[in-house]
A and B are shown apart, each in its own frame.
Chain A
Amino acid sequence: MEQFGIGLALLGAVLAALLSGIGSAVGVGMGGEAAAGIVSEDPGKFGKVLILQLLPGTQGIYGLLIAFLTLSQIGILGGSADISVAKGFLYFCACLPMGFVGLWSAKRQARASVASIHLVAKKPEQFGKAMLFPIMVETYAILALLISILAITGIGGLNI
């Protein structure tokens, strides 16, 4: 039972990386399909559609960030891995926002990205606006990231 704490915490860290990683992989993949289609028509738009394709990729990075922060906090990356069950559960909970929001926001952002890629194909001069639509979705991934970061750094100081 003593080791259950670190197990829970690790589960949280892994979930954050796992779910947001899946979301981003799906999202960047969708963007890539659309972007490749556009480039086959007009290779000159490569730079623009590449940026749009990459937008749903950030969730995976945020997930990695949370996973890494958790791993270093719970002492898996060096240090002593001695964590109470309660604390492990807290870490687990702290990782959830990033995991879930990362997964869903990446998928939804990808759909906005694909739409924006089509927009740029028709009106390349509207790139600035096209970029905004997917970025709007990203906000929620960032808010989730923020809460996860604050929670994880905060838990370390608790005395339970």
Chain B
Amino acid sequence: MAVLPMQRISIYALKKDRKKVLETLQRRGVVEIMNAKIDDALFQKMDTASAQELFHKNKSVAQQAVGILDEYAPRKKGVFSKLNGREEISLKKYEQEMQRAEEIMKTAYRLLSLEREITEQKSEIQRLQTQMEALKPWNPLDISMRFQGTAKTAAFVGAFPEPYEYDELQDKLSKALPDITGFYLEVVATQPEQTCVFLLCLKQDAHKMEDKIRAMGFVRPAAPAKRPPAQQAEWYQAQELQAKQTLEKAREEILAEVEKRDELCFAVDYYAMREEKYRIISRLAQSKHLFIAQGYIPQTAAPALAKELEGLCSSVVECTAPKEDEDVPVALHNNGFAAPVESVVESFSLPGKGEIDPSGIMAGFYYVLFGLMLSDAGYGFLMALACGIALTVFKNMEIGLRKALNMFFFCGLSTIFWGVMFGSYFGDVVTVVSTTFFHNPVNVPALWFVPVNEPMRLLLYSFIIGILHLFTGLGIQGYQLWKAKRYKDAVYDVGFWFLLLISLVVFALCSDMVPKILQIPFVLPEPAGTISGAGAICGAVGIILTSGRESRNPFKRLMKGLYGLYNVTGYLSDVLSYSRLLALGLATGVIASVVNQMAAMTGNIVVFVIIFLVGHTLNIAINLLGAYVHANRLQYVEFFGKFYEGGGRKFQPFSAKTQYFKIKEK
């Protein structure tokens, strides 16, 4: 239940054992290697950028190859396959496959070139089809479109941009060219957007003819083929068929490689590991025969690793406590109850120097607050059930996901508890069903009270929980200051506040108004008011005198003190912030009842079930989200605000950061 104590580790070994040592370190994944500081001419760092780049390239080629296989032969994945985590392979298998890495890469490159081939053929087919489309109207022409004429004649093969019938065009041309010897016109095709023609005239008239028809918009086809159009079309078809066959062949070849998918996945992982290894190598201090790896290791893992490395080869492992001013990375370690909320702490910030890990204390509050906001036994049961099943069925789940599901499992349990306390089971479904379908209202009584009927009561308890939560935070601050031997600060910044706040709460309870608003049944005796009043004044004076203690100037100090006291409004708003427990709790319950009422309106069992399922699914989703974000907020803002700053650096050990496989040891 705390931040794992770290040790500084230094490994000295012979360079010839570097591979062995590093691979062991990577598979154990317990050491964070730091960038060595070289202060000696004997040692140097190795530049591994080009090697890293090569491995990175191999990794992404293999990754792309896997992507290609996935595209042509999608993997059969269950809905829950994500829960299953990485596949485990034995060390022996890993070493076997490792030998074949280069061979696997050949497959990867081949797949890539096949994919490229397919893309090329696809665009080739596209191109051929466009050309065939353009050639279609010319089909009746039985000579090449390149035909220029004979010895005495000039031929024009081309198109006018308007639709003409034969007679119309013949007329038009005759009128335009009255003085030529004659011409022969053949309309090959008339289309809405063009007229394809074959025109023949004497060579001496060719210039006149060309001028006139160009003025009418005549154009020769771009890149006419040597063969007559019909033949050319056949040739295109043959080409297309060939392209299709090539494409199909490439596709089949890709499909034939499907069983190599696992190998390719392995290659992705293998090169990712090597890239990581070479990144680490560039951080080591190396001499001609020696290398030194320095870094951090959790204290608990240190002896085992030292023993293993020293048994592996001639090396020396030295573990020392880190110095005061070192930037030691942070790893959290908690029991099964608190570990799930580590990720909540982590998304705020890891504990900084001298701070405690708040996960342990936070976990209980987190589950309680979450449960209060969702507060329906039915919903909690579904949550706990779903998470529980997933956790038991998928043993191989990744650790992060496992923690998240564990967290929601505990939150589900807490939700069941509060649901039972407030008598909410899918809202008021028992009452609604028994009234609608059995005409015999059954009420499930709340174990404690029903919040919709007594909102003030729940508001009061929300505030009480809030005050406990805040006081816990303030207490931790006191503990941290005390541990750091800043006794004065602990008294001034925490002690006085406790005195003031507790006195104010008691004082408020003794007044006339507050108990009436909050419907508190008991009245505190008279002297309690006097004593608490005096306590509050003492606390306030203490705060005014000490808040600005870093200032020497007495006036400035007084001002800062008064400003410090002003923070009491901050506490007020912090406590009020817990009213969201009531609001969100009511929201769940009321919307659930609305769903039930709507479902029961028709009195038809089928309609009831449909509306019930849809409505409650929506309500769970939206309120789960609400409970999650607001539980986080209460921890981050109200609770952490009292004692926690964070800023720790995450422990990132040198490890096998694989995507598909997990290497099983022994």
Q: How many A-B pairs with Cβ below 8 Å?
A: 69
Interface contact B582-A54, CB-CB below 8 Å = no
Nearest A residue to B635, CB-CB: A128
Interface contact A64-B594, CB-CB below 8 Å = yes
Interface contact B597-A77, CB-CB below 8 Å = yes
Nearest A residue to B633, CB-CB: A135
Interface contact B629-A131, CB-CB below 8 Å = yes
9 cross-chain pairs, A with B, having the tightest CB-CB distances, nearest first: A128-B347, A135-B633, A142-B580, A145-B583, A146-B579, A142-B583, A65-B590, A128-B348, A65-B587
Q: Does B456 contact A (CB under 8 A)?
A: yes
Q: Mark B622-658, 1 if CB is under 8 A from A, else 0.
A: 1001100110110011000000000000000000000
Residues of chain B lying within 8 A (CB to CB) of residue A57: 622
Residues of chain B lying within 8 A (CB to CB) of residue A64: 591, 594
Nearest A residue to B579, CB-CB: A146
Which of B344, B455, B576 is close to A128, meaning CB atoms less than 8 Å apart?
Answer: B344
Residues of chain B lying within 8 A (CB to CB) of residue A54: 622, 625
Q: Assuming the A-B contacts A77-B597, A128-B347, are A150 and B455 also in contact, with contact meaning beta carbons closer than 8 angstroms in the complex?
A: yes
Interface contact A68-B625, CB-CB below 8 Å = no
Q: Assuming the A-B contacts A132-B637, A142-B580, are A61 and B455 also in contact, with contact meaning beta carbons closer than 8 angstroms in the complex?
A: no
> Which residues of A116-138 are within 8 A (CB) of B?
125, 127-129, 131-132, 135-136, 138
Residues of chain A lying within 8 A (CB to CB) of residue B344: 128
> Which residues of A137-160 are within 8 A (CB) of B?
138-139, 142-143, 145-146, 149-150, 153
Interface contact B591-A65, CB-CB below 8 Å = yes
User: Could you say which interface size class chain B belongs to?
Assistant: 20 to 34
Q: Does A91 contact B (CB under 8 A)?
A: no
Interface contact B625-A143, CB-CB below 8 Å = no
Q: Assuming the A-B contacts A128-B632, A143-B576, are A61 and B583 also in contact, with contact meaning beta carbons closer than 8 angstroms in the complex?
A: no
Q: Cα distance A17–B414 when bound, in Å? A: 31
Nearest B residue to A154, CB-CB: B456
Interface contact B576-A61, CB-CB below 8 Å = no
Interface contact A51-B348, CB-CB below 8 Å = no
Q: Mark B594-608, 1 if CB is under 8 A from A, else 0.
A: 100100000000000
Which secondary structure dominates chain A's binding surface? helix
Q: Does B84 contact A (CB under 8 A)?
A: no
Interface contact B579-A142, CB-CB below 8 Å = yes
> Which residues of B553-591 are within 8 A (CB) of A?
576-577, 579-580, 582-584, 586-587, 590-591
Interface contact B455-A149, CB-CB below 8 Å = yes
Q: Mark B333-359, 1 if CB is under 8 A from A, else 0.
A: 000000000001011100000000000
Q: Does A110 contact B (CB under 8 A)?
A: no
Which of A61, A128, A136, A146 is close to B591, meaning CB atoms less than 8 Å apart?
Answer: A61
> A: which residues have CB within 8 A of B?
51, 54-55, 57-58, 61-62, 64-65, 68-69, 77, 125, 127-129, 131-132, 135-136, 138-139, 142-143, 145-146, 149-150, 153
Which of A62, A129, A142, A145 is close to B348, meaning CB atoms less than 8 Å apart?
Answer: A129
Interface contact A127-B590, CB-CB below 8 Å = no
Interface contact A58-B455, CB-CB below 8 Å = no
Residues of chain B lying within 8 A (CB to CB) of residue A131: 629, 632-633
Which of B346, B583, B594, B625 is close to A149, meaning CB atoms less than 8 Å apart?
Answer: B583
11 contacts between A and B (CB under 8 A): A62-B583, A128-B347, A129-B348, A132-B632, A139-B580, A142-B583, A142-B584, A143-B576, A145-B583, A146-B459, A149-B586
Which of B456, B594, B632 is close to A150, meaning CB atoms less than 8 Å apart?
Answer: B456
Closest-CB distance, A76 to chain B (whole angstroms): 12
Closest-CB distance, A31 to chain B (whole angstroms): 13
Task: Find the residue from A51, A57, A68, A135 having the highest chain B CB count within 10 A.
Answer: A135
Residues of chain A lying within 8 A (CB to CB) of residue B579: 142-143, 146
Q: Cα distance A101–B576 when bound, in Å? A: 17
Interface contact B594-A68, CB-CB below 8 Å = yes
Interface contact A68-B583, CB-CB below 8 Å = no
Closest-CB distance, A72 to chain B (whole angstroms): 9
Closest-CB distance, B120 to chain A (whole angstroms): 28
16 more A-B residue pairs beyond the given contacts A65-B586, A68-B590, with a C-beta to C-beta distance below 8 A? A54-B622, A55-B629, A58-B622, A61-B622, A69-B590, A127-B347, A128-B347, A128-B348, A131-B629, A135-B629, A135-B630, A135-B632, A135-B633, A143-B576, A150-B459, A153-B455
Q: Mark B210-239, 1 if CB is under 8 A from A, else 0.
A: 000000000000000000000000000000
Residues of chain B lying within 8 A (CB to CB) of residue A68: 590-591, 594
Which of B582, B587, B625, B636 is close to A62, meaning CB atoms less than 8 Å apart?
Answer: B587
